[in-house]
Amino acid sequence: MKIAIPVENDDENTSMDNRFGRSVYYALYDSDKDSFEFLKNPASQARGGAGVQAVEFIIKQGVKAVIVPQLGPNADRALKTSGITIFQGSKEPIKKLVEMWKSGSLDKL
């Protein structure tokens, strides 16, 4: 399963970004391969609708869940409509967030 986490930098030692739709990158964690891939967010500089555009982008990547600190109402609705599971995270290193997800200690939104 692929999980998207908004991040500012494209390395495994980065922490989660506080923004979802305007984050610079997404860390895509593949639980089957136990690996990360980093993709530049094409919606980060959008004039409007960045959250929905970001959701469309991660859907195309095959993402089934996200770990986020917060969401705007449009991104929240788009994720839920798309069947993507939303987990509440905090500004932690992404490796720690993945470990928390694996242990079941992240709350679903």
Q: What is the pLDDT of residue 48?
A: 86
pTM of the full predicted structure? Answer: 0.94
Mean of pLDDT values over 16-28 = 94
What are the sequence ranges of the domains in the chain? 2-103
Q: CATH topology for 2-103?
A: Nucleotidyltransferase; domain 5 (3.30.420)
* SS3 assignment, position 99: helix
Tokens representing residue 15 in the block: 């922490």
Per-residue pLDDT tens over the stretch 35-83: 999 999 998 888 888 999 999 999 999 999 999 998 989 999 999 999 9
Q: Are 16 and 90 in contact (CB under 8 A)?
A: yes
Separation of first and last alpha carbons in the chain = 18
* 38/31 Cα distance (integer angstroms): 15
Task: Write the CB contacts of 17 (distance below 8 Å, at least 6 apart in sequence).
Answer: 6, 7, 8, 23, 24, 69
Per-residue pLDDT tens over the stretch 77-108: 999 999 999 999 999 999 999 999 999 999 99
